[in-house]
Amino acid sequence: MCGIVGYSGVKTVRQVLTDGLASLEYRGYDSAGVALWEGNAVTVIRQQGRLSRLVERIGTAHEESRCGIGHTRWATHGQPSEVNAHPHRQGRVTLVHNGIIENYLQLREQLEKEGYVFQTQTDTEIAAALIDSCYKGAPLEAIREACGRMEGAYAFAILFDGHPNCVYGIRLGSPLVAAVDDTGAYLASDLTAILPYTSRYLLPEEGELLALEEGRLSCYDGSLRPMEPVWKQAHWSVEQARKDGYRYFMEKEIHEQPQALRRTISPRIADGLPSFEVDGLPAGFFGRIHKLYITACGTALYCGMVGKALIEKIARLPVEVEVASEFRYRDPILEPDSAAVIISQSGETADSLAALRLLKGKGIPVIAVVNVVGSSIAREADYCLYTYAGPEIAVATTKAYSVQVAMMYLIAILAAGERGLADDQEQRRLVAGLEEAVERTPQVLAMGDEIRNYAKGLKNTESMFYIGRGLDYSLALEGSLKLKEISYIHAEAYAAGELKHGTLALVTPQTPVVALATQPELLAKTVSNMREVMARGGPVLALVTEDLELDPGACDRRITIPGKSGIFAPLLLVIVLQMIGFYAAEERGCDVDKPRNLAKSVTVE
Ligand code: M6R
């Protein structure tokens, strides 16, 4: 986790660094810091807490500095404190780091024998000392040698005494991008920090080195041979990464779902039929496999559960879904003639990346469903189906989930065709159902007042439950995660039929229950479970599609989901769940976009 940024050029670097860090703050916000070249010396300024505190502390000072590095931290080793904040300095080396050095304790012991004394509990300070101990006057040599002794993941931006106005960078397992404009050269953890200056960028491969020297950018391979940069063009505008008049990124991103969905599905529909030709997925792929593994984390995992339900129902292809952090360590038995899908918004989630590597290592072809172009998962997968949600800044994912779910529909329908379970006519009917649901999403977005009204009543709630059956259960998991991560209300999801096996004991008039009922064949059973809750005094909100009749005695309140019940209802239902979480968090005065203890991109296991 953490965000890093670096610049060398003619602009006042203070501003470039703090602006860059502001756009990277979603990666972590426990502390922030910068290191600035001033003449031949490096000045380090670090501050516990949000970036705004650092900006305040710097004020208008350091006007003359034209080169430096910055960091926004999500603590891994050591408390979120000023002393543990980056940049870290040891000897003649000052650096910022994103990642984890796994063998840092062993390195620390060796370096202590060389006479290094450490002020912090961080792995980063060890990395600074190691690079310093390898530094004989040539920065790139020192980085190469030191990185050869580190295990783990890193992206570094490094300053070396004796090389004023220069920044050096390298990555392994953590993201890094670089760019130049007519004022100088930049590096950063991701594009959002660079887009205000240029849309042309490069992605160094793992182990390649970058040198930003007096405003120029040079690239070197792992043997320190100079390389020609391979430029890429970003299609995200800087405006897309801003709030557009919404109070929160999450709110903006919820409202961007109709466009995000259309952008994602339309290139994959040809003549009314699903197709991944634009993504390079070979025709007949799903016809040749007998099993699919889906692995992911958090919300992406819950999307995987929706995928399993759809793919098994429509295409009768067996699917196993598993949380990536468990899958990677349990030595899974993988069947021949199978394939895997890794779902990840960021494309950088450490456990999902490790699961991908495990699967590939066992010869299983991997399809990535990823939002961030050029991310590690996207690059390492055999095939990548990019979702086109655009940049998602809020820690709580919303539009990225919806587009992932849309991709699950397309996979399920295509697989049904390729496995001979749906002819063209049936596939067209299903694709039309998907398109119809997408076109109805603005209707749900227009229900803000009704949903806010319900969420207001949650202001003092301490605990609540989400229940549902089948697809509704997968959505209940997502709804409860959305609520708890941003509003800090304890919320759990249960398969509706499970509640009576223990958890019903927790239901009181103070524990609201949200019952999801969008699947017609399961409605009667879910209604029975709602009644069981009502009988214990638990207030029930029913989220029911407009075509389903519901006995008013089965709930205290109903919010009607527009559109048809059945397999496409999740695309509409999830927006209501997102809005319940959003309005409850707002009502409780929470920092909606930056919930405590979390970060957007989870690059640690
Ligand atoms: O970037 P990824 O999709 O791989 O991230 C996975 C989870 O960390 C993520 O979905 C997380 O659960 C969200 N913050 C939930 O809103």
Q: Is the CB of 349 under 6 A from ligand 1?
A: yes
Mean pLDDT across the stretch 38-59? 95
Burial class (CB in 10 A: 0-12, 13-18, 19+), 556: middle
Q: How does strand 319-323 pair with strand 291-296? A: parallel
Q: Quick one: pLDDT band at residue 17, thresholds 50, 70, 90?
A: very high
List CB contacts of 226: < 8 A, sequence separation 6 or more. 218, 219, 220
Of 31-45, 75-89, 179-193, 287-301, minimum mean pLDDT range: 75-89
Quick one: pLDDT at residue 165? 97
Quick one: pLDDT at residue 543? 98
Mean pLDDT across the stretch 331-356? 95
Task: Give me the half-sphere count of Cα atoms (radius 13 Å) on the Cβ side of residue 333.
Answer: 0
Give residue for tokens 């239901």: 507
Is residue 585's pLDDT more than 70? yes
Q: What is the average pLDDT value for the chain, to the nearest integer?
A: 94
500: annotated active-site residue: no
Ligand 1: centre distance to CA 299 (Å): 5
Ligand 1: centre distance to CA 298 (Å): 5
506 and 463 in contact (C-beta within 8 Å)? yes
Is residue 343's pLDDT more than 80? yes
Q: Quick one: pLDDT band at residue 240, thresholds 50, 70, 90?
A: low
Q: Mind listing the pLDDT tens digit for each residue in 205-217?
A: 999 999 999 999 9
For ligand 1, mutation pick of 1, 190, 346 (most atoms within 8 Å of CB): 346
Question: Which two tokens mark 555?
Answer: 């709930």
Q: Is the CB of 602 under 6 A from ligand 1?
A: yes
Q: Quick one: pLDDT band at residue 374, thresholds 50, 70, 90?
A: confident
**Alpha-carbon dihedral 552, 555, 561, 563, rounded to 10 degrees:** -40
Quick one: pLDDT at residue 28? 77
Q: Whose CA is nearest to atom 8 of ligand 1?
A: 298
pLDDT over 70 for what percent of the chain?
Answer: 99
CA angle 70, 604, 114 (to 5 degrees): 65
Quick one: pLDDT at residue 603? 76
Mean pLDDT across the stretch 566-593? 97
CA 548 to each of CA 365, 420, 442: distance values in angstroms, whole numbers, following the listed order: 41, 32, 21
Is residue 1's pLDDT more than 80? no
Quick one: pLDDT at residue 241? 61
* Closest C-alpha among 582, 578, 568 to residue 265: 568
Angle between helices 570-587 and 399-418 (to 10 degrees): 170
Quick one: pLDDT at residue 492? 96
Q: Whose CA is nearest to atom 12 of ligand 1?
A: 298
Ligand 1: centre distance to CA 109 (Å): 36
Is residue 75's pLDDT more than 90? no
Is residue 203's pLDDT more than 90? yes
Quick one: pLDDT at residue 200? 95
Could you say which of 2, 67, 297, 303 is catalytic? 2
Rg (CA), the chain: 25
List CB contacts of 597: < 8 A, sequence separation 6 or more. none
Q: Whose CA is nearest to atom 16 of ligand 1?
A: 396
DSSP-derived 3-state class of residue 519: coil
Q: Is the CB of 396 under 6 A from ligand 1?
A: yes
Mean pLDDT across the stretch 494-501? 94
* Dist. CA 265–CA 268, nearest whole Å: 5
DSSP-derived 3-state class of residue 268: helix
Q: Quick one: pLDDT band at residue 425, thresholds 50, 70, 90?
A: very high
* Dist. CA 209–CA 523, nearest whole Å: 59
Is residue 234's pLDDT more than 90? no
Ligand 1: centre distance to CA 345 (Å): 7
List CB contacts of 542: < 8 A, sequence separation 6 or more. 515, 517, 530, 550, 554, 555, 557, 558, 559
485 and 598 in contact (C-beta within 8 Å)? yes
Is residue 104's pLDDT more than 90? yes
Mean pLDDT across the stretch 98-107? 91
600: annotated active-site residue: yes
Mean pLDDT across the stretch 530-557? 94
Is residue 244's pLDDT more than 80? no
3-state secondary structure 400-463: HHHHHHHHHHHHHHHHHHHCCCCCHHHHHHHHHHHHHHHHHHHHHHCCHHHHHHHHHCCCCCCE
Quick one: pLDDT at residue 235? 76
Q: Quick one: pLDDT band at residue 102, thresholds 50, 70, 90?
A: confident
* Dist. CA 187–CA 192, nearest whole Å: 11
Q: How does strand 31-38 pair with strand 67-73? A: antiparallel
Q: Quick one: pLDDT band at residue 324, thresholds 50, 70, 90?
A: very high
423 and 280 in contact (C-beta within 8 Å)? no
Question: Which two tokens mark 564?
Answer: 């048809």
CA 486 to each of CA 123, 195, 255, 574, 595: distance values in angstroms, whole numbers, following the listed order: 30, 28, 17, 16, 5
Quick one: pLDDT at residue 79? 74
Q: Estimate to the nearest angstrom the gap between the alpha carbon of 493 and the chain centroid.
A: 22
* Closest C-alpha among 468, 452, 450, 446 to residue 544: 468
Quick one: pLDDT at residue 551? 87
Is residue 282's pLDDT more than 90? yes
List CB contacts of 588: < 8 A, sequence separation 6 or more. 458, 459, 487, 488, 489
Q: How does strand 557-561 pair with strand 540-545? A: parallel
Ligand 1: centre distance to CA 75 (Å): 18
* Dist. CA 119–CA 417, nearest whole Å: 62
Quick one: pLDDT at residue 239? 63
Quick one: pLDDT at residue 141? 98
- Spell 307-322 as b/e; 16+ CB within 10 A means b: bbbbbeebbebebbbb
Segment 266-272 long-range contacts (CB within 8 Å, at least 24 positions apart): 268/385, 268/410, 269/410, 269/431, 269/435, 272/427, 272/428, 272/431, 272/432
* Dist. CA 574–CA 466, nearest whole Å: 13
